[in-house]
Amino acid sequence: MRRLILGYAPANLAPAIVSICGIFVFTRLLSTQEFGAYNLAFSVTMVAQSVLFFAPALAVTRFYTGAQASPEEAAGFLKTMYLLLLCVAGLALAAAAAAGALAGGELIGRQLGLTGWLIVPLLLLRALVATNQTVHRAAGRMGRFNLIECLNAVLGLAAGVGLSLLGVPGGAAVMAGLVVGAAVCAAIDLRLLACLGARARVDRAVLAQVLRFCWPLVLAYAVGCTLQYADRFIVDSWDGTAALGVYVVAFSIVDRPISLICLSVAAGTFQVAVDTYIKEGPQAGRIQAGRNGAVLLGLALPACVGLMLTSKSVAAVLVGPSFDDGVAMLVPIMAMTALLRGVGAHYVDHAFHLSNHSFRLFAVYAPSAIGNIVLSALLVPRYGMVSAAWAALACQAAALLAGWAAAERVLPLWLPARETAKIVACVVAMAALLLALPLPVGWIGLFGGTAAGVAAYAAAATALDLGGVRGMLAGRLRPREPACPT
């Protein structure tokens, strides 16, 4: 498991670092209004991607392992998935054209300008890259996966900064940079589309199985995405695009490190849980999922607490002067929301994926998404963007609890109790040290607090032998015996 987590680390670490660098740069190049407009367009892209293009990537993750039993079956499966992707892309283009012909074009132009017109190309390119990456991961092509993820992030940032410096207005430069990065990465993997011309037949039975499995999960994921992004649209409507810019900067600062950790764990270990479930049965799959969950909690919980306790320094260092006060206020709330979202998506939801009871996720997320919209609509006009953050936290907590309860009926969740208790104890030790240190706000406070927190957590983990770390260190430090002469 450690090998898989570390092996996929570049694919998660590089985009997270690039994202933080992007926040540092763009909050100084763009106004809060321009940054808000960009994030409004990007939020539309993410919601559309979750609704329209989640199914092919999900199907590859779940079924490609079984399809690789024979080359003919694998080729037929990939051909089916890419045809499904192209069909959905055609429907998306037709819907976008119809919306533009009626009233959408004028609305997009008035609200977002050039930024809004880049939604469709970014959506289609991101969907293709995401499907390609899922194929690489399911096929075990770790190096290729890492290369594409890193290249996409770096090219997107570099192109966005370059276009902004060349005079492309506001958020359009950021969106156009993302389009450039995704286009290059899609072009690199064009050979994957060769499966469309293969002689392998499209298996209608496989397609029917995929659609039966995926549509409830797509529906649930779309509702979960609504839970994550609905507050942005409400903040924009009631508190203004400038407030949305501050709100989303705080979200991005928090979401990137937490997502990095969750994706680093899930990128390799979820496929292991799927394989274990298929080959060894539900109980073995449940145990593997629990081990994955313990690793996830052991890495994500200290990151969340660290962000909460260093929020003022994070805001002072990473964002421009017009953003920092609002960001410092929002980061602690959003850090806890990001933790709950990560545990839900990358641990609790896996019970439904593994057991093929995907429709139950819709029943979990729909009430929370509706509640988030209602609460935000009631609170934001009176209390501003901070109330939207509190509403999102409350609804995410409700979704996590509901998901845990529902999972008990399909694949009861399990976490190793002793390891979980050790994780909590290590985090308490780390938090106690950070609260006791008189760290100044700024660069010294951020790096000093980060170093102190990591050292405290590592020391406590070693003392408690969290995850067998003492044995691992002893093995690393033990001198190797000289090889016997031949």
Q: Which pLDDT band, with edges at 50, 70 and 90, does 386 fall under?
A: very high
Residues above pLDDT 70, as percent of the chain: 90
The DSSP annotation for 424-477 comes to HHHHHHHHHHHHHS-PPSSHHHHHHHHHHHHHHHHHHHHHHTGGGHHHHHHHHH
What pLDDT shows up at residue 390? 94
Crossing angle (nearest 10°) for helices 32-52 and 9-29: 150
- Mean pLDDT across 447-459: 93
> Above 50 in pLDDT, residue 485?
no
Residue 447 lies in a domain: no
Residue-wise over 11-22: b if at least 16 C-beta within 10 A, else e? bbbbbbbbbbeb
> Above 80 in pLDDT, residue 191?
yes
Give residue 344's identity as a one-letter amino acid code. G
What pLDDT shows up at residue 3? 64
User: Which residue is it, tokens 């002689």?
Assistant: 199
Residue 353: give the domain boundaries.
Answer: 2-415
Spatial neighbors of 35 by CB under 8 A, at least 6 apart, are 26, 27, 171, 245, 248, 249
Residue 38 lies in a domain: yes
Residues above pLDDT 90, as percent of the chain: 26
Residue 347 lies in a domain: yes
Cβ pair 55, 268 in contact under 8 A: no
Residue 463 lies in a domain: no
Residue 457 lies in a domain: no
In this predicted model, what pLDDT tens digit does every residue of 64-76 receive, in sequence order?
Answer: 766 666 777 777 7
Residue 203 lies in a domain: yes
Cβ pair 386, 333 in contact under 8 A: yes
Total domains in the fold of the chain: 1
Residue 375 lies in a domain: yes
What pLDDT shows up at residue 358? 66
CA distance 46 to 251: 15
| Distances in whole angstroms, Cα of residue 249 to Cα of each of 35, 159, 327, 464 | 8, 20, 7, 37
Mean per-residue pLDDT over the chain, rounded: 83
- Mean pLDDT across 24-38: 86
In this predicted model, what pLDDT tens digit does every residue of 304-324 receive, in sequence order?
Answer: 999 999 999 999 998 888 888
In this predicted model, what pLDDT tens digit does every residue of 248-272 receive, in sequence order?
Answer: 889 888 887 888 788 778 766 777 7
Residue 273 lies in a domain: yes
What pLDDT shows up at residue 102? 59
- Mean pLDDT across 357-366: 75
In this predicted model, what pLDDT tens digit does every residue of 428-445 receive, in sequence order?
Answer: 999 999 999 988 988 899
The pTM of this model reads 0.72
Q: Which of 362, 372, 360, 424 is nearest to 398 (CA)?
A: 372
> Above 50 in pLDDT, residue 107?
no
| Distances in whole angstroms, Cα of residue 31 to Cα of each of 176, 245, 324, 326, 400 | 17, 8, 13, 14, 35
